[in-house]
Amino acid sequence: MKHPPFATLKLSLLLVLAALLLAGGGILWSRGQAQDAGVALQQQRSALNGARQQLDRSRHQQQLIATHLADYQALAARGFIGTEDRLAWIEAAQLANRDAGLYSLDYQLTPRTASLPALAQGLPLGQTTMTLTLPLLVETDLERFLNALKARAPGVYRVRGCQLSHPGDAPFEPVNQPRLLAECELLWFTVAAESGASK
């Protein structure tokens, strides 16, 4: 039996071995490249999903703005959004006093304070207390004044309460002079960028 000529096949075997090594290296390199490409693809998919979610949120916010823009503008026009308009509140009270045919009016305003966030669903709602003191001829004068103020109010307010009293112990006389004193406490509400800011 004859042995194959290893000397002549030596070069061919070396070439086959080199080809096998190169093929194995190529397979390992291509597998690493495929894994890197898979990771990059996953990152791109995550980024795409994040961008889609952001786009959906933006569309939703745009829809909310379009839906509520008229309401927002109406509240801003009434003086509810933005800085306090104390002068307009005072003028409204004075004009309501005149419209109701009353005698005089004293007022006092406190600095703006933060209101309960639950009242405005977390918005920076502020409130300013206005104390009004006005002399009355009869009890129904107070109702006329409050109705006139409601018609003239340039903002959003709530009457916290009113108290009637008889100042002095003067005997009743049938003259057109105020014998009652009303003291009312009003809360004016505003939504501003800084909840503690006051004008």
CATH assignment, 86-169+177-191: 3.30.70.60
Query: Could you tell me if 115 and 127 are in contact, meaning their C-beta atoms sit under 8 angstroms apart?
Result: yes
Packing angle between helix 140-152 and helix 86-99, nearest 10 degrees?
A: 140
Q: What is the CA radius of gyration of the chain?
A: 41
In the chain, domain spans? 16-78, 86-169+177-191
Q: Could you tell me which residues are beta bridge partners of residue 108?
A: 131
- Model pTM? 0.61
User: How do residues 109-140 score in pLDDT, each as one tens digit?
Assistant: 999 988 876 777 778 888 999 999 999 988 89
pLDDT digits (tens, 9 = 90+) for 67-114: 878 877 777 777 788 888 899 999 999 999 999 999 889 999 999 988
Say if residues 112 and 127 touch (Cβ distance below 8 Å). yes
